[in-house]
A and B are shown apart, each in its own frame.
Chain A
Amino acid sequence: MTTTATGAQLRRDGLARRRDPLYAGSLAFLGLVVLVAAFGPLVAPYPPDAIDFTAIWGSPSPAHLLGTDQLGRDLFSRLLLGTRESLIGPLALLAGATVIGVAIGLVAAWNGGWVDVLLARITDVMFAFPGLLFVVLVIAVFGKGPWTAVVALALAYAPVIAKFTRSIALSELARPYVDAYRVQGASAAHIAVRRVLPNMTPALLGYLVVLFGEGLMSLATLSYLGFGAQPPSSEWGLMVQEGQDGIVLGHFAPTLVPGLAIAAVVVAVNIVGVRLSERLGARA
């Protein structure tokens, strides 16, 4: 009972001390985006691939809230329906990169010595290799498509996460409670995974949220270049690319709408990520 009381107290104090409209606004916006990703298909007025040649490059109107693209498809509906694909991609890539990166970082920090050196060399090589070039190479070998892009980017992000994990794991492993668990007779795997990793999650979480924004941008870039999502998908990066032809003709909405969506989500995610790591870091 005492814990819950003190916990609530802490949380209340935390909020009162740092009332932060930017953070709250970003969080609310991201919440809305997640809702759209979940329920967008129910709300969208048109199917995303409903072609209407009578309404090509249409301006915003009551029938088409954000206008239409080069095939007369409703931009509002495409935006809503593209949300899910645009979010799931970076989520999946981050999940993959986190599993690989955290495992490498933790093993390197725990073992030290030649294991650490070897893993540091491998991640250095992966670092030295330009990420986008690496991804294009993987796509060239395995063929283009949204999942190849996700897997390739996961591999490209893993060393970043490994380096970060290693650095926080090193400082965590230096704490005497790790020795205390050893003296208790716990196995290395038990200590590293069950005891040390949970203590690292707050620091990791904030970093991963920021990386999510980067991942979203990278995937959108790949789709824009034609390596990621393929038509008729309404993934946002692909929408930007498809709408490009309209710019010369003076129709900005088809590029601007998905472009702004990407920018808004990335900015909101960054704000939340940075604030989150500050807060969780302060509490730990």
Chain B
Amino acid sequence: MTASTPSPAAALVEAEHLHRAFRMPKGQDPVVAANDVSFRIAAGEVLGLVGESGSGKSTIARMLVGLERADAGSLRIAGADRFAPARGRAGRLARARQAQMVFQDPYGSLDRRLSVQQALVAAMRLHGIADREGARRRAGELLDRVRLTEQQGALRPHQLSGGQRQRVAIARALAVSPSLLVLDEAVSALDVSVQAQILELVDEIRREAGIAVLFVSHDLAVVDEIADRVLVLYRGDVVEAGASAEVFRAPQHPYTQLLVSSVPGPGWDPHDVVARRREFDAAR
């Protein structure tokens, strides 16, 4: 929970000057999803990435797991260049073990044909982590770790609740023992009490396994809860970065101030928020 940036030597993820623009249909300006974005994440650290929808959060998250490319910039995880083409099957799998992702939609991101147990075993078998028997045993441990029972392990996604599905997604990500876990709006579709359970679980995992976490969310309260440091993204630009306690208690940039004051709470007035938003957009 320290405010200081970890020393470069300790950084697991090193993102330098990431840039990505999406071409739009003729006559429209390209949408910039990432503009000169640089950040580091140390092992065992939780970096929060906040911003409104369309600010480029998901694009950056997807870059980290190789689902999105960058126009410029470099990205290294544990010193390995993520943008160089993977060399063959072994290279692809090694890369997958560096970074895993938990998606927003807890139902759609699970294969509906496979039971929880089968999904976990399939992930481990793909990576040759254990033989069939060992994988099954490890699947049991993973289920235990995300607090699902053996019985629930035999169920298929449609038989589970949203929170349980997201636990499965986390277990599946952990199955290949990644060094970085990317959670892209992973608790946004869940109700508040379930959110708290998942956050607690993520916190426990990073403490016990020393996994670095990139936590992407539009929900400031949630990010404040879990992140050590936070990056505020506005239309692809990092407008503010720092320890989450400082950023949320004393926001410096007008956009962060706007975001913080937009969170519903005592004395919160929607008209006021809309008016200030209009002012902010006009000033830009």
Contact = CB atoms under 8 A, between A and B. Distances in A.
A185 interface: yes
B126 A180 contact: no
Contact of B92 (A3, A180, A185, A195): A185
A2 B95 contact: no
Contact of B126 (A2, A175, A185): A185
B95 A185 contact: yes
Interface residues of A, number: 20
Interface in A1-30: 1-3, 6
A195 B110 CA distance: 11
Given A2-B155, A3-B115, A3-B154, A176 B108 contact: yes
A179 B109 contact: yes
B101 A183 contact: yes
Contacts of B154: 1-3
B113 A199 contact: yes
Contacts of A284: 112
Chain B interface extent, by class = 20 to 34
Interface string A173-190: 001110111111111000
Contact of A177 (B67, B89, B111): B111
Interface in A166-208: 175-177, 179-187, 195, 198-199
B172 interface: yes
Contacts of A182: 66-67
Contacts of A195: 111
B129 to A, nearest CB: 12
B49 to A, nearest CB: 17
A199 B126 contact: no
Nearest to B62: A179
B110 A183 contact: no
Contacts of A183: 65-67, 96, 99-101
Given A2-B151, A179-B103, A187 B92 contact: yes
B96 A180 contact: no
Nearest to B127: A185
Contact of B109 (A1, A2, A6, A177): A177
B11 interface: no
B181 to A, nearest CB: 11
Contacts of B103: 176, 179-180
B168 to A, nearest CB: 11
Nearest to A181: B111
B93 A185 contact: yes
A185 B96 contact: yes
A185 to B, nearest CB: 3
B211 interface: no
Contacts of B111: 177, 180-181, 195, 199
Contacts of A3: 115, 154-156
A2 B159 CA distance: 11
Nearest to B175: A184
Contacts of B66: 182-183
Contacts of A176: 103-105, 108-109
Of A1, A2, A198, most buried by chain B (CB within 10 Å of CB) is A2
Interface string B188-219: 00000000000000000000000000000000
B123 interface: yes
B176 interface: yes
A172 to B, nearest CB: 11
A6 B156 CA distance: 11
Interface in B80-117: 89, 92-93, 95-97, 99-101, 103-105, 108-113, 115
Contacts of A186: 126
Nearest to B150: A2
A177 B172 CA distance: 12
Interface in B105-151: 105, 108-113, 115, 123, 126-127, 151
A185 B110 CA distance: 15
Lowest 5 A-B CB distances belong to which pairs? A185-B96, A176-B109, A185-B93, A176-B108, A183-B65
Interface of B: 65-67, 89, 92-93, 95-97, 99-101, 103-105, 108-113, 115, 123, 126-127, 151, 154-156, 159, 169, 172, 176
10 contacts: A1-B154, A175-B109, A176-B109, A177-B112, A179-B109, A183-B100, A183-B101, A184-B100, A187-B89, A187-B92
